[in-house]
Every structure is written in C-alpha cells, then in structure tokens.
Amino acid sequence: MNSRYAGYLFCALAMIGVGSTVVVSKPIAAGLPPFSATALRFAIAFPLFVLAMRWRGVRWPRLDRRDTLLVIAQAGAGSVGYTVLLISGMKLASAADAGVIAGTLPAVSAGVAVLALGERPAPALLGAIVLATAGVLVCTVRPDEFTAPHTDSSLAGNALVFLAIVCEALFILLNRKLRTAVAPLPLSASMCGIGFAVALVPACFETPWMLPLDAGALGGVLYYALVPTVAGFVLWYAGAARISGAEAGLMTALVPVSAVAMAATVLHEPVSAAQLAGVACVLGAVLLATFGQMCRRTRVA
C-alpha cells in the first residue's frame, strides 16, 4: 500500500476508535463508578505500554521538576479528568450528542490556547471556533424540549462531556509547555501510569468490589483500554509519521461522524436532524481550522 494512503488509513482508524469511546462509555457508566472504570482502564493499558517500551528499547524520559509537575498535570487533566467526566456525562447524555461535542476538540484546543497563552487567532481559527460552538448549541440546546422531564439531566450530561473535552484540550496545551521533548510512547506510558495512581485513591472510596459484576461494563473497559488507548496510539503515530500534521488533523473530523453512526447502529439511538446539523457544523470547523493552518504555514514558508 502507498505510504501516504496507509497514513490516511491508520489515522482514520485511530479517530474512529476515539469516536467509539463515546459509545462504549455508555455501558461502562451503567455498570461501574467513573474513577473505578478509569483506574481499571489504565491498569490494563499501562503494562502493555511498558512492554512496548522494552521491546523497542525506549527509556523513560529524564525530566526536571517543572516538567515532571507538568506531566502529572497532563495525566490528571487529559487522562483521569477526561475519562471520568466522559463516563459521568454518558450516564445522562445521548451518545449522538456527546459525539458531536467530542468532535469540537480541535476548536476547543485552539480556544484554550488563545485564552491561556494569549495567542492571536487567525480569521479561519475564529470561524472554526464559531462553527464548532454553533454545532454544539444546535444539537444540545433545543428550546422546544425545555419542558421535557429529561432535559435538565441531558444538559448536565452534555456539560460534563464538554468539560471532558476541555480537559483533553488542557492536555494538549500542557504538552506544548514541556521544555523536554518526550517521545509519544513513553509519554503515553507515563499518562497511563500516573493516571492509574491518581484514579486509584478515589476509586477505593467508590468501593467497586461491593457492586454486582457487570460483564458489559467490564467488557467496555477492556475495549477502551485495548482499542482506543493502546491500538489507537499505535495507529495514530504510525499514520502521522506518513502524512503532514495538517492532513492528520483533517482525520479528527471522523470523530463526530463515527460516534453518531455508532450511536445509531450499536446503541440504536435515533439521530435527529439537529444532531446531523451539529455534525455538519463541527466538520466545517475542523476543515476550516485545518485549511487555515495549511494556508498560514504556506505563507510563512
């Protein structure tokens, strides 16, 4: 297979896996407390990353105190915070709505960078943020449903999912602040190891051993650890090595599409016109942000 096409395929499969986390979080939320599920996810994934490091002869990075604290903060936000908030939100939100919200990550990351770092946003980036915001509002805020009894809970669920995306955006931002460049494999292993340690203490307070065994939830955690976490890492970085960063960024558009499609086919959720409109807005935001980045780099070059 042509290396470029292989890159597209690998990145696309990785993003489809990311979209599936929204769907698989539904049965996990129904059978396990969020911190317990998060700790179990990292307990499964961490040894696999360590084995991969040993197999490839990759050493743990040597970081100074500042970078060590940043890596711990990354794990707290992007690993534990994201997973806990996503699972908590999926108790209340529909998978289709959550999928649209998850697709706003590129725009949310850009917005966080603007607010936290004072970066000057390009017009294309501003347009992408506006489009992504419109997509979330279209699919999650429906005035004709405010009188329905489920509305308050669904809005709360959507808010938790959005906070999960903000945590993931903080992960990206904190990674850019590291002074020492850390290779993807040891960084992923560190995130899993620290994430497990951070989630373990609150998980003990949830006393998961007192709950009845839920095969669906345990299967969901196993899938989450093996497919989006471990296999997703391998696929994404194998693909990103073959194509440009902007081209890889385009593949993130598959997250809301795959999440909404899986919500309909796997969970049998009805997909509304508002949700499809939200997907269209989010796709437009990803495309606008990516092509704007391409044009900006072309001018600089």
- The pLDDT tens digits for 7-64 are 888 888 998 898 899 899 999 999 999 999 999 999 999 999 999 999 989 899 888 9
Q: What is the pLDDT of residue 246?
A: 62
Q: Domain of residue 241: give its range.
A: 3-300
Global pTM reads 0.83
The contacts of residue 53 (CB under 8 Å, 6+ apart) are 59, 60, 185, 186, 189
- What is the rounded average pLDDT of the residues 123-139? 73
| In contact, 128 and 290? CB cutoff 8 Å | no
pLDDT over 80 at 135, yes or no: no
Contacts with 184 (C-beta within 8 Å, 6 or more apart), sequence order:
233, 237
Count: domains in the chain: 1
Report pLDDT for 300: 47
Confidence of residue 92 (pLDDT cuts 50, 70, 90): confident
Cβ–Cβ < 8 Å for 249, 107: no
Query: Cβ(41)–Cβ(229) under 8 Å?
Result: yes
Q: Are 44 and 222 in contact (CB under 8 A)?
A: yes
pLDDT of residue 121: 64
Other residues' Cβ atoms within 10 Å of the Cβ of residue 113: 17
Does 194 have pLDDT greater than 60?
Answer: yes
What's the CA dihedral at 181, 184, 185, 186 to 10 degrees?
30
The tens digit of pLDDT for each residue in 212-232 reads 989 999 999 999 999 999 998
Is it the case that residue 146 has pLDDT exceeding 70?
A: no
Which pLDDT score is estimated for 158? 87
Binning pLDDT at 50, 70 and 90, where does residue 173 land?
confident
Measured distance CA(280)–CA(134) in Å, rounded: 10
Pick the residue with more confidence: 85 or 260?
85
> DSSP H helical segments within the chain, as ranges?
3-31, 34-56, 65-74, 82-90, 95-102, 105-117, 123-140, 151-176, 184-205, 215-224, 232-240, 245-250, 254-265, 273-300
CA distances from 142 to 43, 132, 275 (A): 40, 16, 11
Q: Residue 122: is its pLDDT beyond 80?
A: no
Query: What average pLDDT does range 276-289 have in this prediction?
Result: 78
Least confident segment among 133-147, 166-180, 205-219: 133-147
Answer yes or no: is pLDDT of 297 > 60: no
Average pLDDT estimate for 103-124: 73
Rounded Cα distance, 78 and 80, in Å = 6
Residue 102, classified by CB atoms within 10 Å of its CB into exposed (0-12), middle (13-18) or buried (19+), is buried
34-48, 141-155, 165-179, range with the lowest pLDDT: 141-155
Q: Calculate what percentage of the chain has a pLDDT beyond 90.
A: 35
Average pLDDT over the chain reads 83
SS3 label, residue 180: coil
Helix axes 82-90, 151-176, angle to 10 degrees: 170
Q: Which residues contact 104 (CB under 8 A, 6 or more apart)?
A: 132, 133, 135, 136, 162, 165, 282, 285
- Predicted pLDDT of residue 140: 63
